[in-house]
Every structure is written in C-alpha cells, then in structure tokens.
C-alpha cells in the first residue's frame, strides 16, 4: 500500500487529533504532518475532504517514496 505525507499549516489540539486517529501524526514547530495509508483512492480523497471540511490549511499531500 502507498503511504502519503499530508502537511497542514497548523498545530493540532486534542480535538483535531481525534479526527485523525487513522493516521500517524507528527507535530513540527508550526505545522502537523499526517502519515496516511489509504485503502484505495476513494479513502485518500475522503481524507482530503475531511481536512477541507475542518477548514485546515493544507500545505501539500505527497506520496512518500521511502
């Protein structure tokens, strides 16, 4: 399965973390990185829609080549 790194320009509080329990979460100084392994393309788009619906500022979503 393919892993994606999704960078968001905000730090997560416990409420936001609860929306992303299906991801590994890395907290950086001014942003949050979600590491997400979607089951299929629909689940990837569902994740991006969730980010949009929460009004989170998306920086990028990239396929992790490692």
Joined together, the tokens standing for residue 22 give 């299906």
Q: pTM for the complete prediction?
A: 0.90
Domain extent, residue 42, equals 4-63
Residue 44 region, left (φ>0) first, then alpha (ψ -120 to 50), else beta? alpha
The pLDDT of residue 64 is: 87
Per residue in 7-32, pLDDT (tens digit) is 999 999 999 999 999 999 999 989 99
Report the pLDDT value the prediction gives residue 4, as an integer from 0 to 100.
97
Residue 14, CB half-sphere, CA atoms under 13 Å: how many? 0
- Look at the chain and report how many structural domains it folds into: 1
């Amino acid at each position: 399965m393919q892993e994606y790194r999704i960078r968001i320009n905000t730090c997560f509080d416990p409420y936001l973390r609860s929306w992303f329990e299906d991801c590994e979460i890395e907290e950086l100084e001014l942003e949050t990185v979600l590491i997400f392994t979607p089951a299929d393309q629909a689940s990837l788009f569902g994740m991006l829609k969730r980010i949009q619906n929460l009004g989170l500022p998306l920086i990028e979503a990239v396929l992790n080549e490692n």
